[in-house]
Structure 1
C-alpha cells in the first residue's frame, strides 16, 4: 500500500479524481473547506490549486463580495496537454477550470441546479444535477448532451463491463447507459431506500449492476433482465448509509468493496456473500475510486484523516482468499 502525508489543509478529503497527465498519475482532491489539491504518488508532493470563484461576475452574487467556491465534487481531465478540473458542489453549479493556469474556462448558469456528482470519462465529464435531476455529458468546450432526467439524483458511476464502457447514475433507482452511443440500457430499483453509489462488473456472460443504498443494503441486478429481478438480496452491508462502492479484481475475480468502520469490506458480487475485510484503522473512508496509477490497477481511497491510500490487489488478496 502507498499512503500520502495528510493534505496540507489539515482537513478531511471530500472527493477525489485520478488522472494521468504528462506521463504520470495525479490525484486531485477537494477538502472539507472547498480547497482543491493535487498529490503525486511518484513524488509524494501535495500542491494547492487556487481557483477563482466561478460566479464572481454574476449580478446575483454581487452583494456577496467574499463569496467563494463551494467545491464538494471533482473530476480531473487531461486534454491537449492541459490539466482541467470539472467541479462544483451541493451549493454550486458545475464549472471548468484550467488547473495549470488557474483560469476559469466556463461555468453553467447560476440557477440552483447544484451538483449531486461529477465524473471524468475519456476527456469528457458527466454531471448529475440536483434540482433539474438531469444527467449530462460535457465536452471541454462546454457543449453538452442530455442523457436523461432521473428522479432524486444522488450519484454517478462508470465501469467497463461486457466489452463496453458504462455510465451509471443513482437516485430513486440505478440507471445505465452505453458510453459509446449514449443508449439507455436499463433502470433498476431497490425495494426500499435511495441509491447512494452505483457501479458494474462482468460476471461470466452477464453484466451485474451493483448499488448500495441509504439503508446500507447491497443490491445487484443483471443487465438485460427485468428491472425488478435482483440477483440476490438485498444484502445488509452496513448499519448506516453507504456513500461509496467499488469493484476490484482480486485473485482473478471481481469483488465488491465498501467502507465500514475502520475497514474495507469485500463481497462476492455473484452471490452477495461477504468474503472478508481489510483493516483501515483511523482512515474513516469517505470516497474511493478504482484507477490505474502509474500502470497498476489499484483502489484509491480518501478519508477523514486527510490521507490518501492506494490499495493494490495484494493488500486485498488475503480477504478475497477466504
Structure 2
C-alpha cells in the first residue's frame, strides 16, 4: 500500500467498503488524519487537508464512510469522490455506530450523549443523555413497532431510549449496572427471535433483553477477553463476531448464544 504522506503517527482505525467495483480502505488514527486507498491497487486516492482532523472513530456504511473527528467534535459523512458533509457535533465525541431499524438507515455517535441521524436525509432525529459518564458504544435496534437507541458508558452502564421519545425524556431503561468497569464495546443480535444486547464480562459474554434491560444469560468466553464485537452476516446467518486479547477472532451464532 502507498505510504500515507508525512505519516509520523500511528494508524489504528480502519473501515472498508465497496464502491464502483473497487474495495476502498479508509484509515486514520487519534493523531492521524483519515485517508482513502484502493485496496486492490494499493493506490492512495485522497487524504483530508492538513487541518487537525484526527479521528476518534471511522466506520463504513452504505458505500461511504463516516468519521468522528477529535477537537472539532464533528461527525462527517464522506463519499468515495472525497465530498463530505458535516452531520453535526457531539461533545466529547468518542464513537460511531450504524444500524438499520424501523425501515430507516441510522448513523449514531456517542460522547457526552448519544446522537442519531437519518442516513437518507442526513437530518438529526434524536439526542439522548445518560445520567453521567461518556458513551463509549452506541447502536439501535427494532423492538415491535418502535426503534430503540442502545448505549453503554465508561461507567459500565447500559441505557436504552425510544427514538421517538421527547427531548430530555426518560430512558426506556437505565442505568443498568452491566459491568464493574467501563464498557467500550457492545452489539445487538437476535437470540430466540428477540433482540439481545451483548456486552463483555469477565471471561464471558453477558446477554441483556433489549426490551427491558434484564440480564438473560451469560456465555463462557474463557481466556477470550473481548476487545471488540460486531454483529454481521456470515453465509446468510446473522452472527456475533468478537476479537479478544488472546489474539483470536471468534464467530458466535444464535445456537452458541442461546445456550
Q: Shorter-chain TM-score: which interval?
A: over 0.9
| Correspondence 1:272-287 to 2 at 5 A | 272-287=213-228
SS at the partner of 1:316?
helix
Alpha-carbon distance in 1 for matches of 2:84, 2:184: 27
Q: TM-score, normalised by structure 1?
A: 0.78
Structure 1, unpaired ranges of 5+? 1-50, 62-66
Q: TM-score when scaled to structure 2?
A: 0.96
Report if the CA contact (8 A) 1:162-1:202 is conserved.
yes
Shift of 1:304: 1.2
Q: Which of 241, 246, 249 pairs up with 2:187? A: 246
Structure with the bigger RCO (C-alpha within 8 Å, sep 6+) is 1
How far the C-alpha of 1:260 sits from its partner, in A, is: 1.3
Residues 1-322 of structure 1 correspond to what in structure 2 (within 5 A)? 51-56=1-6, 67=8, 70-226=10-166, 227-318=168-259
Distance 2:237 2:5 in 1: 38
Taking the aligned partners of 1:262 and 1:213, their CA distance within structure 2 comes to 20
Q: Deviations over 1:82-141 (max 9, x none)?
A: 211111111111111112221111111233221111111111111100111000111111
Deviation at 1:265, TM superposition (A): 0.5
Tell me, in whole angstroms, the C-alpha distance in 1 between the residues paired with 2:103 and 2:63: 20
- The one-character-per-residue Cα deviations of 1:49-100 (angstroms, maximum 9, x if unpaired) are xx333233xxxx7xxxxx3x62222111112222111111111111111122
Return structure 1 stretches of 4+ with deviation > 6 angstroms.
none
Aligned residues: 258
Report if the CA contact (8 A) 1:292-1:298 is conserved.
yes
Gaps of 5+ in 2: none
Check whether the contact 1:189–1:228 (CA below 8 A) recurs between aligned residues.
no
Secondary structure class of the residue paired with 1:230: coil
